[in-house]
Structure 1
Amino acid sequence: MSAADLVASIGWTLVHFLWQGALIGCATAVLLTVLRNARPESRYLVACSGLLLCLAWPATELALRLLGGSGTGGDALVLFAAGLVAASPVDQGWAALLADQLSWIVGTWAVCALAMSLRMVAGLVWIGRAAAQEGIDPAWQARVERMAAQFGIDRAVRLRIVESLGSPVTAGWWRPVVLVPAALVSGMPAHLLEALLAHELAHIKRHDYLVNLGQNLVETLFFYHPAVWWISGRIRVEREQIADDFAARQLGEPRRLALALSELEKLQFSTHHLAQAANGGDLMSRIKRLVRPDTQALNWKAAIPVLGLAAMSAAVFAHAAPAAKSAEPDRAAVANFNSCERPHYPAESLAQKHTGTVTLGFLVATDGSVKDTKITKSSGHRPLDESARTALAKCTFKPATTKGQPVEAWTAVQYVWTLE
């Protein structure tokens, strides 16, 4: 595959994810609304599944494009991972317009994704240095080890006291570390700080750090889609509620954790995106939930954007369905034979007296040039196939038309190689 095909494959995958992500976001929002009074574990699973689908769907499409050997994006069908076939909402008019901008789209995406990757690496480096260099409190370290044993955590958990931090954060999977602000150690009552540490240990017990890294990966790749950020935000909200519930059960005192969160709210703090922190989500709503759990009524005003997104998605598919049926142009492409050269018989094929018939598929662009070629049936001899492909690429055509407008269209031709 050529570099141009690779760029086109990536570009069309990014473009198609605009509507794919909208559908995933809509479905996730509906399910989360239905499960608004369920356990946070259920909502967490739905949100994680939605974000995973945001990665799996475009990854599958990209793999199919690369395996197909063609980066063209005006195709009417996009194969879904489960084997479902859905029509693409990008019609020929938009396809022609976007095709000219794919290199800019991919280039801009690559620069932004690289910048976000560097930001993520910088966060990991900061956490690593903090874990290696900051202070150690033997008394609190011993208390954390006892709590970890009570929580059933079989890995050693390190505790580090950090000056330039406003809220406890947890990082690491194999060698987890809890970073605690020095202001909390010196200014918060021990029983309340212990409640915050219980919350952090809940993250370690559930291996939340690995999920959070996965979130950062999807956010880096698809930073341009609001649905990705919304779903990822919901994952963090539900994860904090799960950790609150776990810590409250271990402590046996939900109100103690609520009071600790209330004290934490009074501090000025910053959130490190690559770690789980006790200040994740809305602190006031978490405090209220711990003190006085209540059912949530359906907020129809909040559902209006979801309904609007559902209507838009339905309109997209309604537009896409006929496009698949009308993919054949009204008039096929016609060759300008004066521009075509007779294929050159390769010398090595003449010497070995090779003959055969090669069938070529080729894509005629709206300007009449041959945009792409593929061998659909080989002659059995590679030199003959490539010679035919080279000759065809030099031809010009009168492009196919749909309702009088030129469109890209695939057609086929056969070259018969014989020796006279």
Structure 2
Amino acid sequence: MSAFIFALGLTLMHFLWQGLLLGCATAIALTLLRNSRAEYRYLVACSALLACLCWPAVELYQRLNGHADGAAMSGGVLRLAAQSIVGSQPFDLRDSMRDIVGLWALCAIVLSLRMILGLLWIDRAARQCDCDHRQDQLRWEASLSRLAVRFGVDRDVRLRIVDTIASPITAGWWRPVVLLPAALVAGMPPDLLEALLAHEMAHIKRHDYLINLLQNVIETLLFYHPAVWWISNRIRTERELMADDLAARQLGEPRRLALALSELERLQFSTHHLAQAANGGNLMDRIQRLCRPAPQALNWKAALPMLGLALACMSIYAEAVAADKVAVKKVHAVADFDSCPKPAWPEGAIQRNETGTVTLAFLIGADGKLKQSKLKKSSGHPDLDEAARTGIRKCSFKPGTSAGKPVESWMQMQYVWTLE
């Protein structure tokens, strides 16, 4: 198994508890900010989703560059976890690491292809021109241009009327495009449809279509964790609330936008995962918020599962730390005394009948070579101290290890000088 596959597999598995921790922290923060502005909750959710990407990315980088004993340490954790599950059977999860990474890669590829196909569909819809709706398209393009001026959007915004969708969609990569359902053009009053376009213009003003693409990338890479999908859904919900607020301020008529959303609610539609449309979140909650905003009370019953998840997360983290400490065994460097010549007794010391015990400390490198020495306890006679230091330097050493890897470590040795 390659080092990259093993490091990637460890990173994916460790994100199980990391994502749970981030999800619990996000839930607590959003609960505390439930009556604050949507911008604050949006910032918290976006920061949490970005942390879901950065935390495992940093850990993967550290494992690949050997900045930590991640591979050996986590390998011990995997073995301990496997033994706790299957008892005393010699099962090592590292044997399944290649299968875990392979399954993750296969699912990520499928989701990536789905995202690419969605982008191609949007690009095709943006390029094609339906002659049957030519007059309507020119009319609403002019309306969209006027809204762009009111919102202070100076980039070119395209508009296309499409038969295959049921709600407005704002999408794109560099140049945003608004896809307008033909059913809305034909059946919705113009003033209400303009309110929906104002909502889409609010997304363009905030570059939400680009943030939404980044969300899809993170969802593709970390698709296996429910916390990622929950946080991403909260981002979309808060994003819609912010777009509602911005559109209502520019229109000066929150009620008109609320009526437009109520008309939209009567339609049957499906949400396009690659687009940022006016149908995100709960439409009834958004309508009520526009017409009659009210503070949200804390639902303690809903908070109990969150508290349980937080306690579970803390327990998993504590077990992982404890397992890491058990798994990482440190062995100090030792000297090969068979290779040590007998130290020469200083002539002056013999004449003076000097004896004593010398305690020396040695720093042994990962290559087994002596790097530094110092006197820890003197025998009381400088000649004996120096003779012991000179003699022990001629020994061969075996380096210390940590988690099975040679490391630099200190060791102590004593030499007893006695006269017989």
Output the amino acid matched with 1:209: Y
Alignment of 1:297-336 (within 5 A): 297-329=297-329
Instruction: Give the TM-score normalised by structure 2.
Output: 0.74
Residue among 93, 99, 114 paired with 1:119: 114
What is the aligned partner in structure 1 of residue 378 from structure 2?
A: none
**Do the aligned partners of residues 11 and 76 (structure 1) sit closer, same or farther apart at CA in structure 2, a change above 3 Å counting?**
closer
Report the Cα distance in structure 2 between the residues aligned to 1:48 and 1:70, rounded to whole angstroms. Answer: 29
What secondary structure, in the 3-state scheme, does the structure 1 residue paired with 2:2 have?
helix
**Is the 8 Å Cα contact of residues 223 and 229 (structure 2) preserved in structure 1?**
yes
User: SS at the partner of 2:256?
Assistant: helix
Whether 1:26 aligns to 2:24 is yes
Tell me the amino acid that sits aligned with residue 410 of structure 1.
G
Q: What SS does structure 2 have at the residue aligned with 1:178?
A: strand
Specify the alignment match of 1:352 in structure 2.
none
Which amino acid in 1 is paired with 2:147? M
Which protein shows a greater Rg? 2
Decide whether the 8 Å contact of 1:237 with 1:281 is kept in 2: yes
* Alignment size in residue pairs: 334
With normalisation by structure 1, the TM-score equals: 0.74
Q: CA 1:186/1:328 → structure 2, altered by over 3 Å: closer, same or farther?
A: closer
> Which residue does the alignment assign to 2:80?
92
Shift of 1:301: 1.3
Supply the distance in 1 between the matched residues of 2:46 and 2:59 (Cα, whole angstroms).
20
Counterpart position of 2:404: 410
1:110 to 105, 111, 129: 105
Q: Note if 1:248 corresponds to 2:259.
A: no
Q: Deviation per CA, 1:76-128, whole angstroms, max 9, x where unpaired? A: 69xxxxxxxxxx97563439632111000000000000000000000000000
State the shift of 1:72 in Å: 6.2
Q: What's the offset of the Cα at 1:377?
A: 4.2
Match of 2:165 in 1: 165
SS in 1 for 2:404: strand
**Counterpart AA for 2:190:** A
Q: Alpha-carbon deviations, 1:4-25, whole Å to 9, x = none?
A: 1111011000000000000000
Q: Is the 8 A contact 1:144 1:197 kept in 2?
A: yes
Q: CA shift at 1:219, angstroms?
A: 0.3
- 1:7 pairs, out of 5, 8, 21, with 5
Shift of 1:50: 0.2
8 Å CA contact 2:366, 2:407 repeated in 1: no
Alignment correspondent of 1:265: 265
Encode CA deviations 1:102-161: one digit per residue, 9 max, x unaligned. 000000000000000000000000000000114341111111101101100010111100
Q: Offset at 1:314?
A: 1.5
The answer to whether the 8 A contact 1:28-1:46 is kept is: yes
| Equivalent in the alignment of 2:216 | 216
> What SS does structure 1 have at the residue aligned with 2:269?
coil
The DSSP-based 3-state class of the residue aligned with 1:154 is coil
Query: Are the aligned partners of 1:173 and 1:207 in contact in 2 as well (CA < 8 Å)?
Result: no
Which of residues 120, 124, 127 is equivalent to 1:129? Answer: 124
Instruction: Name the residue aligned to 1:358.
Output: none
Give the RMSD, CA atoms, in angstroms: 2.7
Map of 1:281 onto structure 2: 281
Deviation by residue 1:351-410 (Cα, 9 ceiling, x = unmatched): xxxxxxxxxxxxxxxxxxxxxxxx95499xxxxxxxxxxxxxxxxxxxx9xxxxxxx941
**Would the aligned equivalents of 1:9 and 1:70 in 2 still touch at CA under 8 Å?**
no
Gaps of 5+ in 1: 78-87, 333-374, 380-399, 401-407, 415-420
Aligned residue for 1:64?
Answer: 62
Contact 2:35-2:296 within 8 A present in 1 as well: yes
Show the counterpart of 1:50. Answer: 48
Corresponding residue number in structure 2 for 1:191:
191
Aligned-residue offset at 1:321: 3.6
Q: Distance in 2 between matches of 1:254 and 1:266?
A: 19
Mapped partners of 2:108, 2:62: distance in 1? 22
Matches of 1:413 and 1:315 in 2, distance apart?
31
Contact 1:74 1:90 in 2 (8 A): no
* Structure 1 Cα separation of the partners of residues 141 and 330 of structure 2: 76
Return the alpha-carbon distance in structure 2 between the equivalents of residues 164 and 277 of structure 1: 14
**1:138-149, aligned counterparts within 5 Å?**
138-149=138-149
Cα distance change, pair 70–320 in 1 and its aligned pair in 2 (3 A): closer
1:238-296, CA deviations, whole angstroms, 9 ceiling, x for partnerless residues? 00000000000000000100000000011111111111100111111111111110000
Alpha-carbon spacing, 1:328–1:203, altered in 2? closer, same or farther (3 Å): closer
Gaps of 5+ in 2: 84-90, 333-364, 370-400, 409-420
Once residues 67 and 311 of structure 2 are traced to their aligned partners in structure 1, the CA distance between those partners, rounded to angstroms, is 35
